[in-house]
Amino acid sequence: MKPSHSALLLGLIALLYHPHPLSAANKGEAEKAGALLFRDKGCAYCHGVGGVGTKKAPALTGLPKDKTWTGDKITEQILNGGQKMPPFRDSITDDDVTNLIAYLRAKNKPVPPPATSRDSAPATNPQ
């Protein structure tokens, strides 16, 4: 193998085994996007505003410190649901999941702006 191919191969292996975490700027943007998704996808309906928990679903505020809830485990829960939680596999993208996880793990969760009537109004069909 030529040296340039070896370096390329090692670089690709390193990327596979050591994915880059979100940069500080991207992390903040992901957290904000996750806050909007948490509100708009209905997560707050069951888990409460900010994930504080309700009678319908548990609090999610402990996730930043709970090492048993890995990114993979949170992804699995969001996509496939479980217990009383419905699956969101068909209504959420991989980027959405990444942003939700960033929000759930944020120490200082961003507060999304209030939903506007446009955000919550059903789509109309202009005549």
What ranges do the domains of the chain cover?
Answer: 29-108
Tokens standing for residue 49: 């505003």
Query: Looking at the domain 29-108, which fold is it?
Result: Cytochrome Bc1 Complex; Chain D, domain 2 (1.10.760)
Phi/psi of residue 114, nearest 5 degrees: -60, 145
What amino acid is encoded at 61 in this protein? T
Q: What confidence tens digit (pLDDT) does each residue in 55-84 have?
A: 999 999 998 999 999 999 999 999 999 889
Q: What confidence tens digit (pLDDT) does each residue in 1-42 have?
A: 445 555 555 554 544 444 445 555 688 999 999 999 999 999
